[in-house]
């Protein structure tokens, strides 16, 4: 049987993870069209019964395009499609002139799909334990916090560094594992008490499996649209922020104060808050 609908989100990791907040909200079965590298991951999201990649024939069902790019529109040409509001201009103005940021990505997804955002976890919940996971990698240099090794040494409990392809150098600096494939990355999150990372896809993935998260924000901010998680964002109120929608190769003002100014003690305090037993918990 075909799914009741198909959602389209081709990339990137964080955006694809947030699709789980929508598939988990629908009654019935949902299909997702994404790039091959994310197929195994989104197949594990709640409510997903079928995964399609470019080139597959989509069933004759309603389509919600959560990417709404030229590439995604070509793949759904001539179909019954409802597209997400991208808010590209608003998001660019927020960077250039520090105006009001765009709406939350999950809220825009939900509006396009006609559902309410489902509460996390959106993927199978991670087994909780006592290990702090550190995710030091980032695709953009300005998103890389310089004190990961110091945090690993200062944290009083067990620590495991985790990353994916491209994070090898950052992981090697601490001594951790770059998992091969998102399914193994999900499995590696079992036994964690929390994950701390920059504004990257692994941070969103950890939140999607129910882990408390601490996000360290520099060139981007927690108000830019992706941060919607149970946890704490650590950031500094600098007038230059945000300087980018996604991060960049070099700091525009030359001092990288947005990251260098966040010390280890502040991050540890945030981790302690998100991992503290909640009032009334058994």
Structure tokens at 194: 């929390």
Residue of 32, 36, 11, 3 lying closest to 20 (CA atoms) = 32
Provide, for the chain, the percentages of residues in helix, strand and coil under a 3-state DSSP scheme, each rounded to the nearest 5: 30, 15, 50
For residues 145 and 265, membership in a common domain is answered with yes
Predicted TM-score of the model (pTM):
0.94
For residues 92 and 173, membership in a common domain is answered with no
Q: Residue 92: its pLDDT value, please?
A: 95
Assigned domain for 120 exists? no
Q: Residue 7: its pLDDT value, please?
A: 98
Domain count for the chain, please give it.
2
| Close Cβ partners of 47 (under 8 Å, ≥ 6 residues apart) | 23, 24, 25, 26, 29, 30
Q: Residue 101: its pLDDT value, please?
A: 95
For residues 133 and 267, membership in a common domain is answered with yes
Assigned domain for 43 exists? yes
For residues 14 and 132, membership in a common domain is answered with no
For residues 147 and 265, membership in a common domain is answered with yes
Q: Residue 282: its pLDDT value, please?
A: 43
Structure tokens at 225: 């649209």
Assigned domain for 123 exists? no
User: 229: domain range?
Assistant: 128-275
CA distance 4 to 1: 9
SS3 30: strand
Distances, alpha carbon 218 to alpha carbons 59, 89, 198, 248, 267, in Å: 42, 21, 8, 11, 13
CA distance 5 to 62: 5
For residues 137 and 267, membership in a common domain is answered with yes
Per-residue pLDDT tens listing for the chain (282 residues): 999 999 999 999 999 999 999 999 999 999 999 999 999 999 999 999 999 999 999 999 999 999 999 999 999 999 989 999 999 999 999 999 999 999 999 999 999 999 999 999 999 999 999 999 999 999 899 999 999 999 999 999 999 999 987 888 888 888 888 888 888 999 999 999 999 999 999 999 999 999 999 999 999 999 999 999 989 999 999 999 999 999 999 999 999 999 999 999 999 999 999 999 875 544
Q: Residue 279: its pLDDT value, please?
A: 53
Structure tokens at 3: 């799914």
Q: Residue 278: its pLDDT value, please?
A: 72
Burial of 279 (0-12, 13-18, 19+ CB in 10 A): exposed
């Amino acid at each position: 049987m075909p799914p009741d609908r198909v959602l389209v989100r081709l990339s990137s990791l964080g955006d694809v993870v947030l699709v789980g907040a929508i598939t988990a909200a629908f009654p019935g079965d949902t299909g997702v069209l994404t790039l091959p590298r994310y197929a195994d991951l989104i197949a594990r999201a709640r409510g997903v019964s079928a995964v399609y990649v470019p080139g597959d024939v989509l069933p004759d069902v309603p389509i919600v395009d959560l990417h709404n790019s030229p590439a995604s529109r070509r793949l759904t040409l001539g179909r019954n499609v409802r597209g997400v509001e991208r808010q590209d201009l608003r998001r660019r103005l927020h960077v250039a002139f520090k105006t009001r940021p765009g709406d939350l990505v999950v809220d825009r997804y939900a509006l396009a799909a006609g559902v309410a955002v489902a509460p996390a976890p959106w993927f199978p919940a991670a087994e909780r334990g006592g290990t702090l996971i550190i995710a030091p990698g980032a695709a953009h240099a300005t998103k890389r916090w310089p004190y990961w090794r110091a945090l690993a040494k200062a944290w009083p409990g067990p620590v495991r560094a985790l990353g994916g392809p491209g994070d090898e150098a950052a992981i090697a600096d601490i001594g951790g594992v770059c998992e091969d494939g998102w399914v193994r990355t999900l499995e590696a999150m079992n036994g964690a008490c929390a994950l701390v990372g920059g504004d990257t896809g692994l941070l969103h993935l950890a939140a999607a499996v129910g882990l408390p998260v601490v996000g360290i924000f520099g060139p981007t901010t927690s108000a830019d649209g992706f941060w919607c998680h149970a946890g704490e964002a650590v950031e500094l109120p600098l007038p230059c922020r945000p300087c980018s929608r996604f991060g960049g190769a070099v700091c525009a003002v030359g001092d990288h104060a947005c990251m260098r100014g966040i010390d280890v003690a502040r991050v540890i305090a945030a981790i302690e808050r998100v991992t503290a037993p909640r009032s009334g918990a058994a």
